Amino acid sequence: MKRFDYDVVVVGGGPAGLVTSMYISEKGFSVAVLERDKEIGVPVLCGEGISKKVDDLGIIDRGRWIENEVVGARIFSPNGTTVKLSAEHAGGETGYIIDREIFDKELARLSAKKGTDIFLRCNAKQGIFENGKLVGVKADLGGEEVEFFAKVIVGADGVESRVGRWVGIDTRLKPKDIVSCFEYTLSGIECNREYSDFYVGKSLAPGGYIWIFPKSDDVANVGIGVLGSYSKPGLAKELLDRFIESKEELRKGKAIRVLTGAVPVAKPIESLRDNVILVGDAARHTDPLTGGGIMHALIGGRIAGETIAESLESNDVSILKKYEERWKEKLEKKLKRNYMMKEIASTFDDKTFDMLADSVKDINFDEFSTYGLIKALVTKHPSLLIKLKPLLGLR
């Protein structure tokens, strides 16, 4: 059986895995990325919205991956009440509408330029253990069984990570912590390319929302997420088709792409076990309220890559413990707060959404934070205090 030896093996060639590998490779260490698909970025499993704050990360330069730039988001309650938010305060899932395939390929190019070896059609099958420690990965590489050995193994393998399960981390998701998604890219429609639109309501998308992300004046990603505890086979497509048929500006559109998938909307889990690190969706770094994960994948991937490189430079595996400390400093507060908000919002009926939207529709969200929004809701509706006070730091 063919053997490969690297300093680090990364299972998964999405943004989290590619950024992790990039920051390790630039320090001169050998990295292998194992991607089960035959092409980076394909198939696309994403609504393709991302915050403009991606520019501040210094990871990827502006380029062809940006298809449209929006000024903000509009949230529509079931009765049509509209709440407008600036791009800066729209939850991080708007700002740029991107071509995810080009975006991922550019990350792969940057990582490969630093020295990363990317293995396509490489399906990680099982872990290789020595004295109870994960030291490698058995994989199917284009039909050939091979083995990869490394000092550090990174699980960037998405929802319900297999790498995590290999080392005893429970990566299973409960129905209430996963969203079933269905999305069309529709051409020949009428859309306002200045706004990303979100439609909420239990009758529209139970426990989730419908989105319209404009790629141009007549092309948009139109999708839906339905919380697993409310879902059943085919429901997401059924509800999305019904919504599209109800909108004159959408029903004449032609689908040029159809996507399906599942998104974790859970609390973060243990992301470090000895010499194994989980990043991105595998570590549940997806925003539990919005389901958006690209920005957190980039941030977490960079932290993981820098920490692993530091550990290798010092030949000290204990330094990997800093990974959890560092990602928690950047992301944990927001993830926990938004998980609580997701749990609360998933219980709202249509009348509650209408009431809440009406109470905040005239607020200037250009200067408004999520924390301020919660305070405003409590002020307008004292009955919500019991539910929302944990988000305000009250006991």
Count of alpha carbons within 13 Å of 93, Cβ hemisphere only? 22
Domain membership flag for residue 152: yes
226 strand-pairing partners: 180
**In this structure, is residue 319 part of a structural domain?**
yes
For 123-131, what is the mean pLDDT? 97
Question: Between 389 and 92, where is the model more confident?
Answer: 389
Alpha carbons 21 and 16: distance in angstroms, whole number: 9
Q: What is the mean pLDDT of the chain?
A: 91
Is residue 387 in some structural domain? no
Kindly state whether residue 274 falls inside one of the protein's structural domains: yes
Between 81 and 389, name the one with better pLDDT.
81
The total of other beta-carbon atoms located within 10 Å of residue 337's CB is 19
Q: What would the pLDDT profile of 198-253 be if each residue is shown by its tens digit?
A: 999 999 999 999 999 999 999 999 999 999 999 899 999 999 999 999 999 999 99
Beta strands, E only, the chain? 2-5, 8-11, 31-34, 49-50, 66-69, 72-76, 82-86, 96-98, 117-119, 122-130, 133-141, 144-149, 152-155, 178-187, 195-199, 209-214, 219-227, 254-264, 272-273, 276-278
**Could you give the number of structural domains in the chain?**
1
Is 87 part of a structural domain of the chain?
A: no
- pLDDT category at 388 given cuts 50, 70, 90 is low
**How is residue 249 written in tokens?**
């500006």
Instruction: List the alpha helices (DSSP H) in 175-283.
Output: 235-246, 248-251
Determine the pLDDT at residue 95.
87
Per-residue confidence (pLDDT) for residue 338, from 0 to 100: 87
pLDDT at residue 18 tops 60: yes
Domain with 155, as residue range(s), is: 2-45+102-172+268-339
State residue 1's pLDDT score. Answer: 87
**Within a domain: 127:** yes
pTM: 0.91
- More confident of the two residues 92 and 355: 355
Provide the β-strand partners of residue 149: 5, 136
pLDDT tens sequence across 318-340: 999 999 999 999 999 989 988 98
105 pLDDT more than 70: yes
What is the CATH number for 323? 3.50.50.60
The reply to whether 332 falls in a domain is yes
Please indicate, yes or no, if residue 74 is contained in any of the structural domains.
no
Q: What is the pLDDT of residue 395?
A: 43
* 306/346: higher pLDDT: 306
Residue found by looking up tokens 């973060």 in the block: 268
- CB-CB contact of 101 with 41 (8 Å): yes
pLDDT recorded at residue 337: 86
